[in-house]
Amino acid sequence: MIRKKYQILVFKDNAGTCNTFTLHIWMCLLTAGIFFASVGLNLHFFHNRLNADTMQDKLHQAQRNLENQQTQFLILTEKIEELETQVNQVSRLNAKIRVMANLDSEHVPASFSLGGAERMGFTDQYATTHRQELLVRKMHNFLEQLRAEAKLEQIRQEELLAKLRDNQGFFASTPSIWPTDGWVTSDFGYRRSPFTDRREFHKGIDIAGPPGTPIYATAKGRVLSADRDGAYGLTVTIDHGSGIVTLYAHMQRINVKTGQDVSRGELIGYIGSTGRTTGPHLHYEVRLNGMPVDPKRYILN
């Protein structure tokens, strides 16, 4: 049957001229097969193109959703880090006040004690992760940790408030502010002497500033001395009670007298370079029961 053939006669005019075409069955079948195969392939490609476009749209939407979620995560981590910074600032402030109030730093119940081994930098570690469930869980745990720290600070605050109520006079007489404006050029502790280059113990902090910068009493007290004191130059010493004494050295000019009562923030002199010094600055000391301690432990502002 496939080998059958048909002849087609095409007459051009009335004179009887005609053309003959031979049509084989196998050629018809082949042509039909090619035609339907072409139609099928076109339909298949069209269907695949529709599916590809749909998948592409879904992929773009998923990418946009992921970008939005990552943006939200970054915003959340920034807020968490900001909250953590605030909690740490309050914690450091409480620690200073506890030192000043002679409170046991371990007095808070141990159940609220927190370690730092699990704390991580969210932005660096998790911003590029695709495991969002883990990220949410980590953030949730971190927020719980911050809540526990906030509860801890609340307990400390309540204890400090109770201490303040019972010892208002004590805190008024406890150094708690910077004695002058300027910048610290030498901290408390061992250092190289600027005069001998030998290792020595520095009993206070040096705060440099322009000559004539005002110096203020850091707490209420009574002036023990206001005079020249050897290498310290013009010096003011104030007794605040409870074994606390502050010293202000190298003044340009003294503004108080021995025996005078002063209050926190009262002007007592001006920065200078009297005595043994390399330039204008204030040498500030805090002594507890005759022993020098780090003045920065008594600075809250």
**pLDDT tens per residue across span 29-47:** 777 788 888 888 878 777 7
Are 187 and 145 members of one domain? no
Are 168 and 222 members of one domain? no
**pLDDT tens per residue across span 204-255:** 999 999 999 999 999 999 999 999 999 999 999 999 998 999 999 999 999 9
Q: Do residues 194 and 239 lie in contact, with contact meaning Cβ atoms separated by under 8 Å?
A: no
pLDDT number for residue 90: 73
Q: Do residues 127 and 73 lie in contact, with contact meaning Cβ atoms separated by under 8 Å?
A: yes
pLDDT number for residue 296: 92
Q: What is the mean pLDDT of the chain?
A: 78
Residue 89 pLDDT exceeds 70: yes
178: in domain? no
88: in domain? yes
Final residue of a structural domain among 62, 78, 93: 62
Query: How far, in Å, are 16, 84, 152, 217 from residue 98 at the CA level?
Result: 126, 21, 14, 21
Residue 180, exposed/middle/buried by CB under 10 A (0-12, 13-18, 19+)? Answer: buried
Are 45 and 81 members of one domain? no
- The dihedral of CA 276, 278, 284, 287: what is its sign? negative
Final residue of a structural domain among 172, 199, 231: 172
Are 83 and 47 members of one domain? no
Pull the structure tokens for residue 22.
């031979």
147: in domain? yes
Separation CA 169–CA 171 (nearest Å) = 6
81: in domain? yes
pLDDT number for residue 215: 97
| Proportion of the chain above pLDDT 70, given as a percent | 73
Separation CA 96–CA 109 (nearest Å) = 19
Residue 239's CATH number: 2.70.70.10
177: in domain? no
**pLDDT tens per residue across span 94-133:** 766 666 665 554 443 333 333 443 444 444 444 444 556 6
**pLDDT tens per residue across span 137-158:** 677 777 777 777 777 777 777 7
pLDDT number for residue 109: 37
Total-model pTM: 0.55
Final residue of a structural domain among 15, 46, 62: 62
126: in domain? yes
Are 211 and 288 members of one domain? yes
Number of domains in the chain: 3
Q: Tell me the residue range of the domain where 153 lies.
A: 67-172
50: in domain? yes
Are 289 and 193 members of one domain? yes
Q: What angle do CA 86, 88, 93 make, to 5 degrees?
A: 95
